[in-house]
Amino acid sequence: CAYVARYVTKKITGDMAEEHYKGREPEYVVMSRRPGIGRGWLEKFVNDVYPHDYVVIRNGIKCKPPRYYDKIYDEWNSEEMHNIKTRRKFLALQSDEHEKSWERMEVKEAIQVLKAQKLIRPLEGEI
């Protein structure tokens, strides 16, 4: 959806604009910004989000808080947000090391082989 949305909201400017729009109104984006749509939720649940540095979206799936929440939290507590970002970088580097280990690479290869086996199609003329 995000990929398509970027094209839908991409405004044509410069020399090509007049030919592209031919008198039509250029695209524009309307969104909740003052305050943003999630600000009230964050104000209510900030003490549940940032001590653990995740939000639960659906079906119990945990995700890093959105950048918008980080920006707001940084306004409220910049020192703690700096510590959180440092911790995130450290954990990302550790996970990169794990992802590049021989054991992990062997597991990834095995998964790819199994996926490829499912792609086998009948030869031409055997249909």
pLDDT tens column, 61-101? 999 999 999 999 999 999 999 999 999 999 888 887 778 88
* Residues facing residue 62 across a β-bridge: 56
Q: Is residue 69 part of a domain?
A: yes
**Domains: count for the chain:** 1
pTM, two decimals, is: 0.57
Which residue type is seen at 103? E
In a domain, 63, yes or no: yes
Residue 66 inside a domain? The answer is yes
CA angle 74, 78, 82 (to 5 degrees): 95
Report DSSP state, residue 33. B
How confident is the model over 11-61, as pLDDT tens digits? 788 888 888 889 888 877 777 778 888 999 999 999 999 999 999 998 999
Q: Measured in whole angstroms, how far is the alpha carbon of residue 48 from the centre of its chain?
A: 21
Q: Residue 85 sits in which domain range?
A: 35-117
Q: Is 101 a domain residue?
A: yes
Whether 56 maps to a domain, the answer reads: yes
- Does the residue 5 lie in any domain? no
Say if 42 falls within a structural domain: yes
Instruction: Tell me whether residue 4 is in a domain.
Output: no
